[in-house]
Amino acid sequence: MSGHGTPIPMISRTCGPLTGIAHVPGDKSISHRSLILGALCVGKTHITGLLEGEDVLDTARAMRAFGAVVTNHGGGEWSVQGVGVGGFAEPDQVIDCGNSGTGVRLIMGAMATSPITATFTGDASLNGRPMGRVTDPLALFGAQAVGRAGGRLPMTIVGAADPVPVRYTVPVPSAQVKSAVLLAGLNAPGQTVVIEKEATRDHTERMLQGFGATLTVDDTAEGRVITLTGQPELQPQTIIVPRDPSSAAFPVCAALIVPGSDVLVPNIGLNPTRAGLFTTLQDMGADLTYENLRTEGGEPVADLRARYSPDLKGIAVPPARAASMIDEYPVLSVVAAFAEGVTDMQGVKELRVKESDRIDAMAKGLRAAGVIVDEGPDWWRVTGLGHGNVPGGATVASQLDHRIAMAFMVLGMATQDPMRVDDGSPIATSFPVFEPLMAGLGAQIIRDGT
Ligand code: S3P
């Protein structure tokens, strides 16, 4: 439940080489899905390495409100005693998903085909984000939604008592929308078909298969066609959550821009639907290598080794890669500021409807730090100044967005003057150990006023 507390201003200043090993937390997307799918099984799912960030804790509370028994055994070990597909109870309280679009959208999908009613809310960021993209397809199943103007939270969903399966083409590249429709399809009889024109993260598909659902994926001229057979009995699982590539991005990118750095970030999931940033950084000339590349739980995993990269070059990031690095553009734009030449990021309209308008938030902060940024509705361009030449010395509004706050803390590690964010508290939504982890590598981040 971020954004409810006192703002935490933070300052990041130029530091010596970043060195050491960075154990980043568990994957946020997989953590949400572990709790939700665990709640939809009959029996007990065991989860190791769950991300204990605020977003995921809000989802754990929500699953309890729908009747699952969610237990924290300590040290990242959790269990979920599920209620089965179609077994959700009606919550007797408003479901507060805090800052989390993934949490609210997936949970709306999971409850929309049960004969129950639930009301959802969030913080100021989440309550400003569009929910029509999820409630439109949920209406096809027979669910009804009543929210604020523009399809905003707080919003009540009346689940369908007699759901029908749907065939739905997702109009925007969004794993959250795809997943909401698939989760709703679980309790509809017959086959629900979701078509996506651009592949987005495929954790829901992989995990549904792992939990025993009948789900097929076909690559066709129409796009990726996902077919789910409804009303399965999901089987409880033992899940080991891989570490989050989106969190790994911060120590990796920091190492590339701080002279003398050499950082190892172990056990990072490199699912191709998530790993676009690392390919892009390599294309820019980053000294970034995959060590100990292996397959775990059917997914590629490696230890990432990032070293200071004196010869970074701006590039045109292929728009086809956008979905596989959508959360990483803020920190990519920080690296781009230290590169020679222009980094051009096209086909990224979705950045405007994240926890903040991320193009706007980054452009404002980078400009305040002395970097030239051009932007349009679905593109932006950063003109790099080269290592040692980024002035910094600005205060930036994090706009209740964890990735904006962390990106500017990384920027400040290599600017001439320190960078300050007005509120670093949202970092706790996804990366609660960000400050001690970065300090352990040698970063100089302090809470302003402490
Ligand atoms: C997520 C999907 C993405 C991503 C978010 C996590 C998920 O959102 O930005 O951080 O776990 O499904 P969209 O579906 O809105 O692209």
Q: What's the CA gap between 34 and 13, in Å, rounded? A: 37
Q: Which atom, in ligand 1's list, is nearest to the CA of 173?
A: 16
Pocket probe for ligand 1: among 99, 174, 198, the residue whose CB has the most ligand atoms within 8 Å is: 174
CB atoms within 10 A of CB 389: 15
Pocket probe for ligand 1: among 177, 201, 277, 350, the residue whose CB has the most ligand atoms within 8 Å is: 201
State pLDDT tens for residues 287-328.
999 999 998 877 799 999 999 999 999 999 999 999 999 999
- Order of strands, sheet of 19-21, starting from the edge strand that comes earlier in the sequence: 19-21, 262-269, 299-307, 287-296
**Which residue is associated with the tokens 């679009």?**
101
| CA–CA distances in Å: residue 285 to residues 46, 136, 296, 326 | 41, 43, 28, 20
Q: What's the CA gap between 371 and 368, in Å, rounded? A: 7
pLDDT band for 363, please (50, 70, 90 cuts).
very high
Q: What's the CA gap between 374 and 380, in Å, rounded? A: 6
Which member of 123, 287, 327, 401 is catalytic? 327
Q: Which residue's alpha carbon is nearest to atom 15 within ligand 1?
A: 174
User: 88, 183 in Cβ contact below 8 A?
Assistant: no
Pocket probe for ligand 1: among 326, 348, 401, the residue whose CB has the most ligand atoms within 8 Å is: 326
- How far is ligand 1, taken at its centre, from the CA of residue 102, in Å? 6
Strands 299-307 and 10-13: unpaired
Residues contacting 424, CB < 8 A, separation 6+: 8, 9, 10, 398, 405, 409, 435, 447
Residues contacting 149, CB < 8 A, separation 6+: none
pLDDT of residue 244: 97
What's the gap between Cα 190 and its chain centre? 31
What element of type H or E holds 340?
A: strand 340-346
Q: Among residues of the chain, what percentage have pLDDT more than 90?
A: 97
Tell me the pLDDT of the chain averaged across its residues: 97
- How far is ligand 1, taken at its centre, from the CA of residue 74, in Å? 27
Q: What's the CA gap between 50 and 62, in Å, rounded? A: 16
Residue closest to 365 by CA, chosen among 327, 333, 402 = 333
* Amino acid in the structure at residue 51: L
- How far is ligand 1, taken at its centre, from the CA of residue 327, in Å? 8
pLDDT band for 450, please (50, 70, 90 cuts).
low
Average confidence (pLDDT) over 194-223: 97
For 99: left if phi > 0, alpha if psi spans -120 to 50, otherwise beta; the answer is alpha
Residues contacting ligand 1 via CB (< 6 Å) = 29, 101-102, 174-176, 179, 201, 326-327, 350, 354
State pLDDT tens for residues 138-174.
999 999 999 999 999 999 999 999 999 999 999 999 9
State pLDDT tens for residues 397-427.
999 999 999 999 999 999 999 999 999 999 9
Q: What's the CA gap between 450 and 439, in Å, rounded? A: 16
- How far is ligand 1, taken at its centre, from the CA of residue 174, in Å? 6
Lookup: tokens for 304: 């990432």
Q: Which atom, in ligand 1's list, is nearest to the CA of 323?
A: 16
| Per-residue pLDDT at 3 exceeds 60 | no
| Per-residue pLDDT at 200 exceeds 60 | yes
Lookup: tokens for 151: 């399809």
DSSP class of residue 168?
E
- How far is ligand 1, taken at its centre, from the CA of residue 176, in Å? 5
- 58 among known catalytic residues: no
